[in-house]
A and B are shown apart, each in its own frame.
Chain A
């Protein structure tokens, strides 16, 4: 009897089952317009609008951008401020748009369709008072303090992180194909920059805090052993004042990104935007054009600032030194970029009694450009 019951219970657990679900609709490419960005008012920086189209759910290609649109901000007085295409669907407005008026964004796409945003009232964004980090046990937390001010009910932050990382081995030599021999590298490729856009949507309702002042708003958490703090790390935070509609938009976008559809998951909601087709208000358009000034602040954190910090890069867990390579093997090893030479050591040769052999490792373990960029970003400040 015990056994019967046991088997039956097993059955119950196994009967629940997950299968592929592919309704036809997921293969349809709707190509809805996606509008992302801000009308920057006050001249702190350039305004940036990005235009793209949605893809079908199973489409694995990169985002399809719109490069041939006319984009401008229009004031209630009829002043126009044009956003000029700057490649890959980004439209920049370098004119300074003044406060004191309401604006709306106008978009004309080459196929003749016209889109407009609602009228938007620019908001002044309070300055970021301080961005700072604290080490708590084995993790590092980065916080922000800001004064809400009178004009901002809600604050929105986006972050961009950049850090340096090093390969486990450093290659000082490269194969000169003409000579067929190793030569000293002009630039060593062991330290690179890696960038990550948090994608995190950070929001706060300033009215919930005393005097609208925000203290210790957590921007990100760097877990124990993260490569981010291995050498030098920088985070830039952009702060914007937003109104309640924008808050609602970002809040839903944040929630929709979380897993949806489990047994007890809440129903997903539609993202309300503020852009619509002039001729067909029912056409879905995704995106919420923001307006106002942007405040930014950047801080750097060196590995020494959080000492001791043991860095682990899981990508490099399999990196090992290979056998030494002698000169007659150079083309075999190094010509096809599978391996890199680190440095030479004396070795015994059956014929010559003496030779220089080169320690080697795989390209991935000796060349950081496979994971990042060698070139420092424009803003990067070295610590010395």
Chain B
């Protein structure tokens, strides 16, 4: 029903009658009329037909301009300014009513004195007529030259002129966002936007304008303002803080965007966090955000708003990374050099993503710059990385990066007495991202990723796992406000245990998943006040849940294989972001998901109303290849509303629902390397989730503070728990061991953030609960007698403080502190004799907690000499992880010592761990 409603909203707007009302206009006279949804070309024709204005422009320049307004005796200047506000188009109207429209450069009737004015300028072709004052070289000359801006002739006489322009970096020609434009006579605080554009109002006459980029030094221009005009500025970048500053223009994004529960973090922010062994770690970084927690330091899995770790979709440029960890969970699998930033969606998940209950972590990869071949890398205690980026030919850029460890030879150096010298642990990952521009409207992007891990504690058993991802995207910016992006790709994961303890017991165990996906997302902006996204996707998942085979001829191990599983997820989606008024915006979206469990499969049918066991099988139905054994169909909704209270604050509310067909089969609290996956089948229903949330977002501009407060309530159904003593590995009838559970989670999240200033950072606090219970419909033994109990990751209080202080531009210390409630644990609480053997009685599930977690990390980043001519630019990062040396328990367990049970707590990083990392760019 709700889906239909959205369609009707859109239709209403489409059929709105295009009424035109023309006032009699003459040259220089105001313009009236309603111009709805027409091209600029058509607009110009109408104006020319009714006024004395004559337009000069290139058709391809204005193709993208959509005219959508009504005018009532407005000046053409104002109209054009509004029309071109977010474009690179500039215009100039001469005294004869000739309107010149140009891209990027402004035509000025009164050209700078230093330039020669061509004769017959206005009669000539438009290309000849233009002269710009775009300054190209940043030099002392620029600083002391007097630049004339605008034309007194075209000025409206108000005494105030509008100066527009773009700030770019000198070397990369990339736009510089966040540059501050100030001057003695400029009252407002103007900051360049994400495309480097700025616009400010100035009184006429001699002016001085200063442009300051964070770490970009300062540029100064002496201007003589005669009228409206533009001034492009190129700034020399300072290697010190390249891209290190969070753009202040994003300050209000949190307030203004309709979606909530979205956090972004750019790579430069992550690079400053003091992290374990100095490894920049995408996943550990997002743990600093409210609503995100982890069960322990040795686990890369994270929990979002009380959801399990498998409920997070982790994407790298649209590729699903099934195991985002290296070295059995100590490090995440993303090479920081190949990442520009991450976005974590805790509730306002973009409509094109779905299929997971808790969150989407969208890691954005980089495609390389288009100016010159550059490289960089880092040498850490544990791993080294290297990357190379740049253009190939005219329209293609690439970014190639790799990482590897030296832990192997380090382990072999260890003394025999440590018992680790036979251990081996190594990893690598390789990224290749490419972007090719076919033409102005079409781009092709390639993302390729491989990661591998191999480790063994004993000589005889080797664990290894691999991620493999490849996808190609085609981005098309079409005519008529429609653009789309199509992605096709493959994601794979494989886990393997190879054991050759003795020839007779040698085995090879593996499981894996292959996923083929195709997705098209279209973006339509043709309707005023609507941003419409729609599309379709298909996702074929092939699962090998487990296979064991003798690894040699002598082996007595019996080969065994769990049936392969196949499932197809097909989705149609539509989202409309609708600006109802200046203050109220809605985002309404729905995804219709059809999941099909495909043959070949043999499905056991059990007698109704009894526990599923081997005895209660009534019959077994065989399905042939590609025959649909089970359909699950249902919607995912995304409804959000934002109301702007004032310029600086807003309130938001939202509802979202989600469905998940791929389940991690785990019986441990952390993500263990041996955890395998399971697809929904006739017995394992899709996990379902609902979430309502509300929030208040505000910025305090005078203090550069951003503050947000969100609250949420979630329910989850069909979660997988397991009967006591379940066998999870190599179980061909897993449904007999599954105990369907339901969960609820609720909490409040608070974030106070300061991005600007020498002292910056953020404080996040989360209070949340995450509770589970065995589904009341479940037969047989229920966990804790069917009552709600805390989930493994129920950590009510979680506080994270991140502080950065810039002593000088070259020395920047950082400090992080984290406190969280200890996670729940099931403890042995009594012992007894049974069958003449002493045994242990365990408490209710998760009735107790391990001690609370508290850790402080500190680091200092030292930037080297940052002269641009230097061959390589280097920086050092020195720090200490767990500065206080507190032993934060990861796990607690009881084991018999001399016949008596003794409890132990295991801390992974119980001492301060110093680190040093060397980074370089060339």
A269, CB-defined interface residue at 8 Å? yes
Specify the chain A residue showing the minimal Cβ separation from B381.
Answer: A8
A286, CB-defined interface residue at 8 Å? yes
Q: In angstroms, how far is the closest chain A Cβ from the Cβ of B859?
A: 15
Q: Within the assembled complex, what's the spacing in Å between the Cα atoms of A21 and B892?
A: 7
What are 24 of the A-B contact pairs (CB < 8 Å)? A8-B277, A9-B381, A9-B411, A11-B913, A15-B908, A17-B887, A19-B887, A22-B903, A23-B848, A25-B848, A29-B830, A30-B830, A54-B830, A54-B832, A55-B832, A57-B840, A199-B836, A199-B837, A255-B724, A268-B828, A270-B783, A271-B841, A284-B841, A286-B834
Q: Within the assembled complex, what's the spacing in Å between the Cα atoms of A60 and B410?
A: 45
Q: In angstroms, how far is the closest chain A Cβ from the Cβ of B387?
A: 22
Residues from chain A with Cβ under 8 Å of B725 in the complex = 248, 251-252, 254-255, 269
- Give A residues with C-beta under 8 Å from B: 4-6, 8-23, 25-26, 28-30, 32, 34, 36, 52-60, 63, 153, 158, 197, 199, 201, 205, 207-208, 244, 248, 251-257, 259-272, 282, 284, 286-287
Cβ contact within 8 Å between B410 and A9: yes
Residues from chain A with Cβ under 8 Å of B668 in the complex = 263-267
Cβ contact within 8 Å between A256 and B842: yes
Residues from chain A with Cβ under 8 Å of B669 in the complex = 267
Q: Within the assembled complex, what's the spacing in Å between the Cα atoms of A252 and B128?
A: 88
B900, CB-defined interface residue at 8 Å? yes
Specify the chain B residue showing the minimal Cβ separation from A160.
Answer: B836
Q: In angstroms, how far is the closest chain B Cβ from the Cβ of A243?
A: 10
Q: Within the assembled complex, what's the spacing in Å between the Cα atoms of A22 and B897?
A: 14
- Known contacts A23-B848, A25-B843; A11 and B670 CB within 8 A of each other: no
Stretch at the interface among B52-60, B267-275, B610-618: B610-618
Q: In the complex, which residues 747-806 of chain B have their Cβ closer than 8 Å to any Cβ of chain A?
A: 781, 783-785, 792
B24, CB-defined interface residue at 8 Å? no
Cβ contact within 8 Å between A263 and B413: no
Size of interface on B: residues with Cβ below 8 Å to A: 74
Residues from chain A with Cβ under 8 Å of B413 in the complex = 6
Residues from chain B with Cβ under 8 Å of A58 in the complex = 900-901
Summarize B's interface: helix, strand, loop or mixed: mixed
Contact for B827 among A23, A253, A259, A271, CB less than 8 A: A23
Residues from chain B with Cβ under 8 Å of A207 in the complex = 614-615
Cβ contact within 8 Å between B906 and A26: no
B894, CB-defined interface residue at 8 Å? yes
Q: In angstroms, how far is the closest chain A Cβ from the Cβ of B793?
A: 13
**B411, B784, B829 — which one has the most chain A CB atoms within 10 A of its CB?**
B829
Residues from chain A with Cβ under 8 Å of B829 in the complex = 25-26, 28, 30, 57
Residues from chain B with Cβ under 8 Å of A6 in the complex = 410, 413
Q: In the complex, which residues 647-692 of chain B have their Cβ closer than 8 Å to any Cβ of chain A?
A: 667-670, 672-674
Q: Within the assembled complex, what's the spacing in Å between the Cα atoms of A381 and B908?
A: 57
Q: In the complex, which residues 17-32 of chain B have their Cβ closer than 8 Å to any Cβ of chain A?
A: none
Cβ contact within 8 Å between B907 and A57: no
Cβ contact within 8 Å between B828 and A57: yes
- Known contacts A26-B828, A270-B724; A265 and B839 CB within 8 A of each other: no
- Give the 8 A-B CB pairs with smallest separation, nearest first: A261-B893, A269-B724, A199-B837, A54-B830, A21-B905, A17-B910, A21-B903, A266-B667
Cβ contact within 8 Å between A12 and B913: yes
Q: Within the assembled complex, what's the spacing in Å between the Cα atoms of A57 and B893?
A: 12
Cβ contact within 8 Å between B841 and A16: no
Residues from chain A with Cβ under 8 Å of B906 in the complex = 16-18, 263
Cβ contact within 8 Å between A9 and B844: no
Q: Within the assembled complex, what's the spacing in Å between the Cα atoms of A13 and B792?
A: 27
Given pairs A21-B892, A21-B904, A262-B891, 15 additional interface contacts (CB within 8 A): A5-B406, A12-B277, A19-B887, A19-B904, A25-B829, A54-B831, A54-B832, A57-B830, A158-B835, A197-B835, A255-B724, A260-B893, A263-B670, A269-B724, A284-B841
Contact for B839 among A53, A256, A282, CB less than 8 A: A256
**A251, A264, A284 — which one has the most chain B CB atoms within 10 A of its CB?**
A264
Q: Within the assembled complex, what's the spacing in Å between the Cα atoms of A282 and B784?
A: 10
Residues from chain A with Cβ under 8 Å of B910 in the complex = 15-17, 19
Q: In the complex, which residues 405-430 of chain B have their Cβ closer than 8 Å to any Cβ of chain A?
A: 406-407, 410-411, 413-414, 418, 420
Q: Within the assembled complex, what's the spacing in Å between the Cα atoms of A29 and B841?
A: 12
Residues from chain B with Cβ under 8 Å of A287 in the complex = 834
Q: Within the assembled complex, what's the spacing in Å between the Cα atoms of A21 and B837?
A: 24
Q: In the complex, which residues 602-621 of chain B have their Cβ closer than 8 Å to any Cβ of chain A?
A: 611, 613-615
Cβ contact within 8 Å between A286 and B907: no
Q: In angstroms, how far is the closest chain A Cβ from the Cβ of B479?
A: 56
Q: In angstroms, how far is the closest chain A Cβ from the Cβ of B908?
A: 5
B50, CB-defined interface residue at 8 Å? no
Cβ contact within 8 Å between B907 and A16: yes
Q: Within the assembled complex, what's the spacing in Å between the Cα atoms of A53 and B829?
A: 13
Cβ contact within 8 Å between A26 and B841: no
Contact for A244 among B411, B611, B905, CB less than 8 A: B611
Residues from chain A with Cβ under 8 Å of B843 in the complex = 25
